[in-house]
Structure 1
Amino acid sequence: MELSVCSRQSTVSKTKDKKLPTANCLLPTSSLPIAYCQLSTVTSSIVNCLLVAIFCLLPFTFCFAYVATAEEEPIICQANNIEYSKDGKKMIASGDVRITYKGIKLTCDRLKIDAQTKDAYARGNVVLSEEGSRLVGENLIYNLDTKEGSLDNASLFSPVWYGKGKKISKVSDNEFKVSQGYITTCDPRHPHCADYRISSQKIDITLGQRVQAKNVFFWLGKVPIFYFPFYSYSLKDNRPHIRVIPGHSKEWGAFLKTASRFNIGEGEGHINLDYYERKGMGEGVDYKYNSIFGEGELNTYYIYERDRLKAEGEPAERERYKLELKHHYEIDEDTNLRFEYHKLRDKDFNKDYFYSEYEQEKQPESYLSLTYSPGSYILSAKVKKQVNDFWTVTEQLPELKFELSETRLGESDFYFKNESSFNNFCKKAANRDASGGTIDKVGDEKARRLDTYNQLSYQITRLWNWLDVRPYVGTRQTYYNRDKNGKGDLLRGIYYGGVDLSTRFYRVFDFKSDFLGIEVNKLKHIIKPKASYNYIREPKLPSSRLFQFDSVDDISGKNAVTLTLENILQTRRRVRKFSENKNLGEVYPLYNVEEREEEEIVNLADLTIEADYYMHHREGHPHQLSDIKGDLDLNPYDWLNIDVGTVYDSYAGHFKEMNADLTAKGEKWGFTLSNRYQRSESCELSAELDYALNSLWKIGIYERYDFIKQKNWDSGGYSMVHGYRIVHELPCWIVELNYDYKKIDATQRKNNSTVWLIFRIKALPGEAVEISK
C-alpha cells in the first residue's frame, strides 16, 4: 500500500520506506482527503527562511487530520505521526493518537482507520469513551458509525457498575457482552478496595436497563461465597438482587432470611425463603407491579410452625400465613381507584414476623374506593368488609359521599358548603381471640344512614380596616332506618350557628443585636387574636339511642366561645444551609455536606394559646373553661429548633399533657431530645446523637427512658431502650455495628438485646447484608 505523509513540500510525496518528520496537516472535507501544505509563491530566499523555521518548529507540533466525505461530520485525529494511502481512503496514526467523532473519543498508541467504512483498529493503551461508558483495553476492533466492536483484556466503566473480561464486545449503542469476566460496584482503580464481584463466562449488560448471566459466582475478595444458575439484575435502580440476613433471637433461635429479587416487565418482586430454628421454614412472594391499569403490590407469606417454646396445653404446630394486595389506579387526573385486601391467619402474625408493618398499621383495613375530585368538590364511593374475624370491623356496604368545599356564590361574599353521605353500616364484632380460639360473638349492629350538612357563611374582610368577620349558619339532617331498640325511620335535625372574628396587628422595631450569638436585624412583632362562637342545638334524638359507627352519630349540643391568641417574633438574618457536596459525596457519603449562607425571614418565636369557654355546664365536666392548649416554636439559631405542645388543666393547676422536642444539627453532628408526658400514665424521655468523627467514622447513641413505667413496672409496658452504633466507611462498603437493648415484657420481666452487623454497598445504599443476634 502506498502512503502519503505530511510533508513540507507543496506536492504530495509518495514513499514506501522513508518517513518524513512530523508536521501540521489538514484534511479537507470535500471530495477525497489529501494532505497538503500551502506555501505562497515568493522569492527563493524567503522560501528558504520559511523552510528553516518549519524544521525548527516540527519537533514541537502534532499532526492534525480532518477525514470526511462530502456532507459528513469529519473524523478529527491528533497524533505524533499520520500516514495516508495513495487513494486517501485509509489512514495510519501513531504516537499519542486521539480521535473525536460524533461524541466518541478514542485514544491509543497506534490506529488504522478506513475513512469510507469507518472501521477502526487500535492497539496499545486503548481508551474508548462515549456518553455513559468507558472501555479500557489492549486491542480494539470498532466501527465508528454502528458503534459496534470488541476489545481484548478490557475493562468497562459505567455509572455505579464496573466490568472486566478477557474480551468485551459492544453489540449496540448501549449493549455490552463480557466474556470470561466479572462485574462489580467496587472501583478497581482504588488501591485499597477489598472488592466483591459477580463472575461468569458470559455477562450481558444493557446500560440503564439490565445485567444478565448464567452460572454465576459471587466472590468476596478471592473467596467464592454463593453460586446462582441464573442472574438477572435491573440497572434502573441501585438495589442488589440477593438479600441475606443471618442472625439469632430468643423467639426464633438461629435464623436465616433470604430474598431473591426478580423482574417481570415493569414489575419487581422478591422470593422469600427463611429458616427459623424454633419455628420452621417460611416462604413467600412479594411483588410490586406497574401496568396501564395502575400500580400495586402483592405480599404473601406462609409458615407451618413447629414451636418448641410453646407452654404446655398450647398447640405446638399450626399454620400461619398472610395474603395482602394493594392497588391504585389513576383513571384520569381527577379519578382514582384504590383497593386493599388483607387476609391474616391470626392477629399477631405481622407482629411476630413483620414488626415494622405492624407498627405502621396494627389493624389493616380491606376496602375498595373510587374517588372523583375535579377541584371544588369530591365525589366518592367506598366498600369496606370484615375479612379477618378476630377484629371488630364496621362494614360499609357501601358508603356514598359528596363533599363541596366552601364555594363563593357568584360575585357576592356568601359562601356555601355541603357534606352529604349515605352509609349501609354493619358493625361486626370479633369472634376469635389472638390464638385463633372461638369466643362468644356479640350480635351485629346494622343500620342505614343518610346524612347531609349544609352551611352558609358570609365573609367580611377588613371591617373598619382591621377586623375580619365570618358569620355562618348550618343544618344537619340525618335519617336512620333503625336505632338500638329496633325502632325504625328516625329523622334527626341539628342546627348550627356561629361567627369567627379575627384580626392582625404588627409593629417593627429598628433593633439589632447579636446577644448570645442570636442574630437580630430588626424585629417584627405580630399579634393575631381570634374569637369563634359556635352553637349546636341539642338534638332531640340523643346519641345514646343510636349505634355508634362514627363521629356523626355522637353529636351533642354545644354553646361555646373559642379564644385563640398567637404571638410571632420575626427577624431577617443569614441562615446556614447544608446540602450534598457532590464532589465529596461520591467518595465519602458519611461526610458529604457543604455549607452556604442565605438571608431570609425567620420566626424567632411563635406562641399560640387556645381555650374553649362553654356557656353551659357539660356532663362530666364541672367547669365551664376547657383545658388550655399551648404551642411554642423557637428558632434562636439556624441550627436549633425547640417545639413544645401542652395541655393545661387550669382548675387542677397541673399539665395533663406535654410534648417537647429539641432538634439541633451541625455540619458533622445531629442531636434530638424529646419528652412525651401524660399525667399518671407515662413520662418518656428520649435522646439521640449522631456525630461524624471524620470522613470515615461516624458514631450514634440513642436512649429512651420512661420514668412512670419504670416506677410502676409491674403494671405493664417497657421502661427503657438504649442503642449504640458505629459506622465505618470503606472504599466499596459502609459497615455499621448496632447494639439495642429494651425491656419488652413487663409481666415476665423479659429483656431483649440485639446486635446487628450491617454491610452496605456504597453504590447500592437501599439494601444491606445484615447479621443480627
Structure 2
Amino acid sequence: MSECNLIENYMEKYIVYSIFLALFLFSGVSYALDEKKPIEVNGDQVEFFPKEKKIIGKGNVSIDYEGMKLTCDTAAVNTETKDAEAEGNVILQSSGAELKGEKIIYNFSTKVGTILKARASSGGWYAFGDKIELLSNSTYRVINGYITSCCLAKPHYKISAKTVMIDPVDNKVAAKDVTVKVGNTPIAYLPKYHFDLKTGGWPTVNVIPGKKSKWGVFALNSYRYEMDGGNSLTLRVDERSKWGLAEGLDYKYYLNGFGEGLLRTYYTHQRNMDRNEPEKGEQQRYRIQARHLWDINDHAMAIMEYHRSSDMNMTKDYFYREEYDRESSPESYIYALNRESEYSLSVLARKRVNHFQTVTERLPEVRFDLKDQKLFDLPIYFKTDTTFTNLNKKTSANTDDLNVTRFDTYNKLSAPLKLVNFLSVSPFVGTRDTV
C-alpha cells in the first residue's frame, strides 16, 4: 500500500473518531449500571470520566433519573453512587413538587439531599429557608424559614419557624416555636402548629371592603387558620383611611379535660384624619376579651368572662353591629356551680375591670339551695335557700364606693297532702331573714 493510501486511511479514521468524540461530549451522556435505571446528563458541555465514574456538565445542565429532573448551571454526577452536586439556578422537580436553590447535594437513588437558600412549592403551599433537607421518607425539613400559601415574592402572611416538617405526599405540615407574621410584622406566637392541607389547613382569607362616614374607606381583612385538636386562630389586619391600621387576634381553643374558650384581642394607634375636625395625635386603643367554659362533670361546671377596654366607646366605635348592639357593657366574672339531686351550691365573683363602668362587685357571692328534704319519718319537708354576698358598688364617676355585706336566707317547712286522686294540698310556713 502506498504512503498516500496510508495517510488517507488514517485521516478517515481520525475524522470518524473526532465526530464520535464531539457527539459524546456535546450531545449528552447516559450511563447506567443496568438498563432499568439510566441516569442521563445533558448540557452545553458534558464530560465523562470513566475511571472516576463521573459526569461533569456545564451550561444549561439537565439531569434525568426515574421521573426526577434536575436543571442547573453546573453539575457533577457519580454514575455508580448516583450522588450529584449542582450549583447555579438549581431546580429539582419530583412528584408534583418543585424545589429551587443556589446549590444542591443530592442522591438520585435514595432521594436524600440538601438545598441551600432554598424554596419549594407543591400544590397550594410554598416554603422558603436557609436550607431545605430532603429526607428518606419523602418529607422536607425547612431550616430557618417559613411556609405560606401566598404565591407572592413578599407574601402577605407566613408561618415562620426554626424547623418546619413538610410531607408533600400526605400534604401535612408540622412546625414548632412558630411565629405568625403578616408581612414582616409578628402578631402571634404558637408553641406548635400542625395541619392537614387536604382538609383546608391553610388560612381562610376574608376581605370586607367598604366606606363609612366615621371610618372613611376601609378594608377589614381576616386570616383564619384551622389547627389540630379543633383549635383555630384568626388574624385581623384592618385598615381605615381616617383611623389608620388596627390588628387583632382571635384564638379559639380546646383544653382536653379542662373545657374550651375564646381569647380575642384588638389594638390600634388610632389617628384622626377627618378634614372637618381638628387634627389629633395618635390615640392608643385596645380591647381584650376572654371566655372559658368548663364542664367539670355531669353535675359541676365553671364559666369565666373577662372584658377589658381602653375606653367606654371602644366596642361602640369598632364592633357596633357584632357586639355593642347586643351587649353594650359586658361584665367580668367567674361563676362555678355544683348541682346535685338534693341541693345546689354556687360561687360567683364579679369585679370591675374598666374604670369607666358602674358595676356592683360581688366578691364573692355564695349561694346554697337545699331542695325539699323529708324530716326524719315525719310527713314534713324542709327547704332552704341561703345567700351570702359581699357587695361593693363602684361608679364610673369614681365617687365613694358603697360596701355592703349581706346575708339572706329563706327557710320553709311544708306538709304536702293528697286528698283525692286529682287534688293535693301543701300547707307551709316560711321565713326570710336578711342581714
TM-score normalized with structure 1 length: 0.31
SS of the equivalent of 1:350 reads helix
TM-superposed deviation, 1:312:
5.2
TM-superposed deviation, 1:375:
2.7
Contact 2:203 2:223 in 1 (8 A): no
2:259 to 285, 294, 319: 294
Aligned pairs for 1:374-389 (under 5 A) are 374-389=340-355
Cα distance in structure 1, aligned partners of 2:315 and 2:370: 39
Contact 1:310 1:316 in 2 (8 A): no
Say if 1:299 and 1:456 are closer, same or farther in 2 by CA, change over 3 A. Answer: same
Contact 1:324 1:341 in 2 (8 A): yes
* Aligned residue in 2 for 1:402: 368
Cα distance in structure 2, aligned partners of 1:259 and 1:233: 20
Say if 1:305 and 1:263 are closer, same or farther in 2 by CA, change over 3 A. Answer: same
TM-superposition CA deviations, 1:463-510 (whole Å, max 9, x none): 34433323322111111xxxxxxxxxxxxxxxxxxxxxxxxxxxxxxx
* Aligned residue in 1 for 2:238: 274
* Aligned residue in 2 for 1:460: 417
Amino acid at match of 2:434: T
TM-superposition CA deviations, 1:383-424 (whole Å, max 9, x none): 211111111100112112111233455676543321111111
TM-superposition CA deviations, 1:221-275 (whole Å, max 9, x none): xxx9x86555956777899522222222222111111122235653321121110
Cα distance in structure 2, aligned partners of 1:443 and 1:400: 25
Contact 2:243 2:272 in 1 (8 A): yes
Aligned pairs for 1:8-157 (under 5 A) are none
TM-superposed deviation, 1:314:
9.2
TM-superposition CA deviations, 1:566-613 (whole Å, max 9, x none): xxxxxxxxxxxxxxxxxxxxxxxxxxxxxxxxxxxxxxxxxxxxxxxx
Cα distance in structure 1, aligned partners of 2:315 and 2:365: 29
* Aligned residue in 2 for 1:252: 215
Confirm or deny that 1:443 pairs with 2:376.
Answer: no
Say if 1:324 and 1:237 are closer, same or farther in 2 by CA, change over 3 A. Answer: same
1:305 to 255, 270, 278: 270
Contact 1:453 1:476 in 2 (8 A): yes
Say if 1:238 and 1:407 are closer, same or farther in 2 by CA, change over 3 A. Answer: farther
1:418 to 384, 397, 401: 384
SS of the equivalent of 2:427 reads strand
TM-superposed deviation, 1:199:
6.1
Confirm or deny that 1:216 pairs with 2:149.
Answer: yes
* Aligned residue in 2 for 1:185: none
* Aligned residue in 1 for 2:432: 476
Contact 2:304 2:334 in 1 (8 A): yes
Cα distance in structure 1, aligned partners of 2:212 and 2:342: 54
Aligned pairs for 1:580-591 (under 5 A) are none
Aligned residues: 268
TM-superposed deviation, 1:216:
3.1
Aligned pairs for 1:729-744 (under 5 A) are none
Contact 2:125 2:147 in 1 (8 A): no
Say if 1:473 and 1:349 are closer, same or farther in 2 by CA, change over 3 A. Answer: same
* Aligned residue in 1 for 2:314: 349
Contact 2:219 2:240 in 1 (8 A): yes
SS of the equivalent of 2:214 reads coil
Say if 1:265 and 1:216 are closer, same or farther in 2 by CA, change over 3 A. Answer: closer
Cα distance in structure 2, aligned partners of 1:234 and 1:291: 23
Cα distance in structure 2, aligned partners of 1:363 and 1:201: 45
TM-superposed deviation, 1:426:
0.7
Say if 1:201 and 1:364 are closer, same or farther in 2 by CA, change over 3 A. Answer: closer
Contact 1:394 1:426 in 2 (8 A): yes
TM-superposed deviation, 1:302:
0.8
TM-superposed deviation, 1:280:
0.7
Cα distance in structure 2, aligned partners of 1:237 and 1:180: 17
Contact 1:270 1:286 in 2 (8 A): yes
Confirm or deny that 1:359 pairs with 2:305.
Answer: no
1:334 to 281, 299, 302: 299
Say if 1:316 and 1:410 are closer, same or farther in 2 by CA, change over 3 A. Answer: farther
Say if 1:243 and 1:339 are closer, same or farther in 2 by CA, change over 3 A. Answer: same
Contact 1:367 1:382 in 2 (8 A): yes
Cα distance in structure 2, aligned partners of 1:468 and 1:235: 65
SS of the equivalent of 1:351 reads helix
Cα distance in structure 2, aligned partners of 1:287 and 1:444: 36
TM-superposed deviation, 1:459:
2.7
* Aligned residue in 2 for 1:390: 356
TM-superposition CA deviations, 1:152-171 (whole Å, max 9, x none): xxxxxxxxxxxxx9659xxx
- Structure 2: gaps of 5 or more residues: 1-93, 98-119, 129-141, 160-172, 174-194
* Aligned residue in 1 for 2:179: none
Contact 2:373 2:383 in 1 (8 A): yes
TM-superposition CA deviations, 1:520-555 (whole Å, max 9, x none): xxxxxxxxxxxxxxxxxxxxxxxxxxxxxxxxxxxx
Amino acid at match of 1:278: K
Amino acid at match of 2:393: K
* Aligned residue in 2 for 1:101: none
Cα distance in structure 2, aligned partners of 1:313 and 1:329: 49
Cα distance in structure 2, aligned partners of 1:216 and 1:239: 7
TM-superposed deviation, 1:281:
0.5
SS of the equivalent of 1:357 reads helix
Cα distance in structure 2, aligned partners of 1:314 and 1:424: 47
Amino acid at match of 1:247: G
Q: Once superposed, what is the RMSD of the aligned Cα atoms?
A: 3.7
Amino acid at match of 1:216: S
Contact 2:202 2:226 in 1 (8 A): no
TM-superposition CA deviations, 1:658-702 (whole Å, max 9, x none): xxxxxxxxxxxxxxxxxxxxxxxxxxxxxxxxxxxxxxxxxxxxx
Contact 2:296 2:302 in 1 (8 A): yes
Amino acid at match of 1:296: G
SS of the equivalent of 1:360 reads coil
SS of the equivalent of 1:248 reads strand
